[in-house]
A and B are shown apart, each in its own frame.
Chain A
Amino acid sequence: MAKPLSFPEDIFEQEMGQGMRPETEAELAEIIRVANGPFVVRGGGTRSVGACEGAVLETGGLSGVVLYEPGALTLVAGAGTPLAQVEAQLAAEGQRLPFEVPDMRGLLGCSGESTLGGVVAANASGPRRVQAGACRDSLIGVRFVDGAGTVIKNGGRVMKNVTGYDLVKLMAGSWGTLGVLSEVSFKLLPVPETGATLILRGLSDAQAVQAMASALGSPFEVNGAAHWPGEGTFLRIEGFAASVAYRAAQLRRHLAAFGALEIEEGTARWAGIRDVTPFHGRNGDVWRISVKPSDAPGLVARMRADAVLYDWGGGLIWALAEPGTDLRAALGAFEGHATRVRGAGPGAFQPESPGVAALTRGLRAKFDPRGILNSGLMGA
């Protein structure tokens, strides 16, 4: 239970101005508890999708690494902790967040400091998702304040935990609609000794998806598989030097039917795929579409986008489309979901089936009974 706190005189006046920025979890809880108005929950504002109205409630004050145990591969930090700070601290110990957080600032045309809470709220996951899982798979604990101002914790700091319901997963990708994250815990991975990028050129989209499927279905531990039409089809392997060399040679043989495989040292190229640099500086709406990989080329043909980038072996399509195009209408019924990550108007998130939408509404009504957290976002 949060005990009553005294605030600096001006904390509620800020509501009118630039918004509120609690410095502690208890302060965050109290702000929400006594509030009536809607809030727009904000980490660094570097990966916002869709729009909603209200006073800005910033988490940047809830910053700092609470615990980092390299020998246990675990990190606990305030939700407002800058991603860059954490990445640097992990790198110093030869570790990293497994899921390769995309930097969306170039794509969204914004600046600011990405926070861990924002990463979790967006379930932001890059190319390594195909092998190491999404953000939700590495997230092992959360603390958050619900829409009534109550502090709730779930999970913890250990990797294996099935005690009670997994609200940790529920919070990942909830875009601030169920609560405001105050603390998050992650499981980490060591940074491999080295890596290589394998490139096939000149493949059609369909051939590329087949080549990526073949590579991902091999035992050679491919942890990135992307296709940039016109540019090439890219595979990434990482590990100890001898192992990377061995697997590169094996993959060259394994993929011989798709043409000659170029082997590029290092993995520098993957930041561009992760951050969708091919779309930077180009006009239009940007869509992020999760599909069954083998469906991807057919869907791309149907959507008639200005440009596309395939990641996750085809399971993730980034599409650049004419502003205001309803890409979902062009796609028709398909298995998966499409989110408009850049562009104006309603309907950024994929509409849900009636049964699932009812559950979502029910959960939001429980966690945020007054409907004050990012109200209007994600359909409800």
Chain B
Amino acid sequence: MPDTTRAPADREITFAQAIREALAEEMRRDSTVFILGEDVAEAGTPFKVLAGLLEEFGKERVLDTPISEAGFTGLAVGAAMTGMRPVVDIMFGDFVTLTMDQMVNQAAKVHYMSGGKWRVPMVMRTTMGATRRSAAQHSQSLHAWFCHVPGLKVVLPSTPYDAKGLLKAAIRDENPVVFFEDKMMYKLKGPVPAEDYTVPLGVADVKRVGEDITLIATSSMVQVALGAAALLEEIGISAEVVDPRTMWPLDEKTLIDSAKKTSRVIVLDEGYERYGVTAELASVVATGAFYDLDAPVKRMGAMHVPIPFSPPLEDATVPTEQTVFEAARTMCGK
């Protein structure tokens, strides 16, 4: 299916609506798709992302679970192995820790260990992102954990358009996919066509074309990078913003091509900078564009602390338009 990112859409919807539409359309298209998680039915999740799905699809396909993340993730694995396409909802990304055994030791490995006989076509949707004043146990961005495990695909949409297309592709994928939604983006609006489309996993997207520096950014950091790019433009620096969209599969070529073109790269991600996905992305670029780079690749991620609760503290822990602007300006020698 063609990626119509640049195709004009005659309507704008929010990120949350895009997720809901993707789920509803896939559930209409394929009766094996169903949702399970805590407070997904009547409440439609605390973020109201799933509001209305219970009404349309009934309580059998929008299933409220007991508070048992490890258990219902295992349930999804079993259902997926035997012909269903469950979409698991993990209310806060911080609770993925409870699902790790099922995801890492079972879902990720079944296809390989069975000699290709079994598969696990499930999607786990969860949240990430700080600055919602929710403290350290409700604010983490733990996507890097899954990226480390062969057998899991990891998706980080940054716009309503991408969210819808990527989620549909994830549901149709034959493998376990972990889908991270930044909870601060649910209200973000953007153009989304009404027609059916998917965004293939493993294709990066250039969100802004530029000449002097490349900002590789994921999820909510794409908006930060675009904001920084606008500030940079005012001082005569043309920044390109590239969104890998999926951490695995990873579109290395688009990242490297952009790096070769601009010769300077900053990688941004809301997860921890230390041992985070920025390390992998920077390494891909540093290796692939080695002879074209004018400066070492710079990485920016969350400060190496549990995310604090108080606003002045929390705001100091994540990259902002201003800090990215400063870093880019320094790198460009202006």
* Binding partners A and B: no
